[in-house]
């Protein structure tokens, strides 16, 4: 598996995400935001957490319109795998690769703590390493993680089994406790919790490792 | 030519920040504030001299960047 991790000005989880991919056996290339094209042979793009472009205008808005952002959108448009974590999730919704939007947390506070999630579907390259309904503990760290979508959109993603993870206890007001969402082709995942911060016990938990292992198994080059 | 864009959350989208401001006003003794909605104002200096084409261009800017039309609405003033 060859993974590309994008670094925007203000990204701060790009190294963690690179390490999580590498720990699962991936070759990782880091892509600076000034690049306008991706290298050949990329299997998956990681859009990391942080505060791209200082969260100016709206979280993820500027990154989603940057030249490398366009390359990411094109890659996804051709059926490529893309995972966006935290700010990366915000970027992917701003690109409209994923439906809905991330708003200010309902409690207005920045929430930073490990949280229990329930695996809502195992039908994706990201979640096939978990059991349906399994509870896993993954850290969250965000101010704008309040996932909102109109009722028709919500009915659609739920009807299509596209909710990847739900919070066991909702920390931010997200509709229907949604913590992660898949695209229609199930190849783009956005999630607010940070699986890359839970890949080995020294980090306080390793429940995120199965996500990267499952991906690596699915995208391994023959 | 100047343009002023007002971006507001759509009706029905809960505004947690506006709610916090409303509560603060209540604590400060301002009674009777039944609702607060918080938005943003974006001012643009444009080289365009034709109001209609300026407005069309700013509308495209709103659709593509200045507003997230999933949750926000906008109005444009040209002056």
The tens place of each residue's pLDDT in chain A, 222 residues long, gives 999 999 999 999 999 999 999 999 999 999 999 999 999 999 999 999 999 999 999 999 999 999 999 999 999 999 999 999 999 999 999 999 999 999 999 999 999 999 999 999 999 999 999 999 999 999 999 999 999 999 999 999 999 999 999 999 999 999 999 999 999 999 999 999 999 999 999 999 999 999 999 999 998 864
pLDDT of residue B32 exceeding 60 = yes
Confidence of residue B14 (pLDDT cuts 50, 70, 90): confident
CA dist B25 and B35 (Å) reads 10
> Token pair for residue B3?
């343009």
User: Cβ B17–A58 below 8 Å, yes or no?
Assistant: no
Which of 3.30.1280.10, 3.40.50.10890, 2.20.25.570, 3.90.70.10 would CATH assign to domain B2-78?
Answer: 3.30.1280.10
Report pLDDT for A134.
Answer: 98
- Chain B, 51 to 70: residues with Cβ < 8 Å from chain A are 64-66, 68, 70
CB A63 within 8 A of CB A33: yes
Domain ranges of chain B: 2-78
CA dist B34 and B23 (Å) reads 10
Distance between first and last Cα of chain A: 10
Report pLDDT for B12.
Answer: 87
Q: Which positions in chain B touch A61 (Cβ < 8 Å)?
A: 65, 68
Report pLDDT for A4.
Answer: 97
Catalytic site includes residue A86: yes
Cα–Cα distances in angstroms (integers) from residue A28 to residues A22, A41, A200, in the given order: 6, 11, 19
CA dist A60 and A106 (Å) reads 19
Which one of A33, A59, A86, A142 is the catalytic residue? A86
Count of other CB atoms within 10 angstroms of residue A60: 31
Enumerate residues 6+ apart whose C-beta is below 8 A from A133.
A118, A119
Q: What is the ipTM of this complex?
A: 0.85
CB A30 within 8 A of CB A42: no
CB A144 within 8 A of CB A105: yes
Report the phi/psi class of residue A133: left, alpha or beta, with left for phi > 0 and alpha for psi in -120 to 50. left
User: Cβ B20–A108 below 8 Å, yes or no?
Assistant: yes
pLDDT of residue B61 exceeding 50 = yes
B70: nearest CB among A101, A104, A173: A101
Sign of CA dihedral A146, A149, A151, A156: negative
Q: Which positions in chain A touch B65 (Cβ < 8 Å)?
A: 57, 61, 65
Report the candidate in A103, A58, A151, A107 with the shortest Cα–Cα distance to residue B19: A107
Whole-model pTM?
0.94
- DSSP secondary structure letter of residue B44: E
Catalytic site includes residue A196: yes
Phi, psi values for residue A152, rounded to 5° = -65, -45
Cα angle vertex A158, ends A157, A159, to 5°? 90
A87 vs B13 pLDDT, higher one: A87
pLDDT of residue B47 exceeding 50 = yes
Based on C-alpha coordinates, what's the Rg of chain B? 16
Report pLDDT for A85.
Answer: 98
Report pLDDT for B16.
Answer: 87
Q: Best residue in B14, B66, B70 to probe A by mutation, most A CBs within 10 Å?
A: B70
Catalytic site includes residue A169: no
Report pLDDT for A221.
Answer: 60
- What are chain A's domains? 2-219 (3.40.50.880)
Report pLDDT for A222.
Answer: 40
CA dist A23 and A197 (Å) reads 12
């Amino acid at each position: 598996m060859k993974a590309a991790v994008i670094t925007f000005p203000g990204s701060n989880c790009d190294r963690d995400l690179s390490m999580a991919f590498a720990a699962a056996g991936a070759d990782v290339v880091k892509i600076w935001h000034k690049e306008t094209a991706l290298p050949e042979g990329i299997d998956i793009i990681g859009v990391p957490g942080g505060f791209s472009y200082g969260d100016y205008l709206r979280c993820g808005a500027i990154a989603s319109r940057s030249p490398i952002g366009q390359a990411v959108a094109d890659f996804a448009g051709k059926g490529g795998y893309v995972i966006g974590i935290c700010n990366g999730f915000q970027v992917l919704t701003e690109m409209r690769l994923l439906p809905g939007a991330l708003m200010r947390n309902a409690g207005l506070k920045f929430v930073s703590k490990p949280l229990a999630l329930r695996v809502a579907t195992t039908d994706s390259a990201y979640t096939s390493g978990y059991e349906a309904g399994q509870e896993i503990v993954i850290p969250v760290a965000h101010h704008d993680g309040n996932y909102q979508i109109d009722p028709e959109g919500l009915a659609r993603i739920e009807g299509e089994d596209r909710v990847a993870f739900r919070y066991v206890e909702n920390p931010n007001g997200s509709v229907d406790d949604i913590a992660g969402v898949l695209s229609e082709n199930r190849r783009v995942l956005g999630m607010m919790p940070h699986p890359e911060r839970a890949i080995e016990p020294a980090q306080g938990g390793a429940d995120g490792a199965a996500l990267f292992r499952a991906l690596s198994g699915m995208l391994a080059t023959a | 030519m100047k343009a002023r864009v007002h971006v507001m959350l759509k009706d029905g989208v809960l505004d947690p920040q506006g709610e916090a401001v409303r509560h603060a006003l209540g604590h400060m003794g301002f009674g009777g504030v039944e609702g607060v909605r918080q938005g943003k104002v974006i001012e643009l200096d444009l080289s365009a001299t034709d109001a209609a084409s300026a407005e069309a261009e700013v509308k495209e800017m709103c659709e593509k960047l200045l507003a997230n039309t999933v949750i926000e609405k906008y109005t444009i003033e040209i002056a």
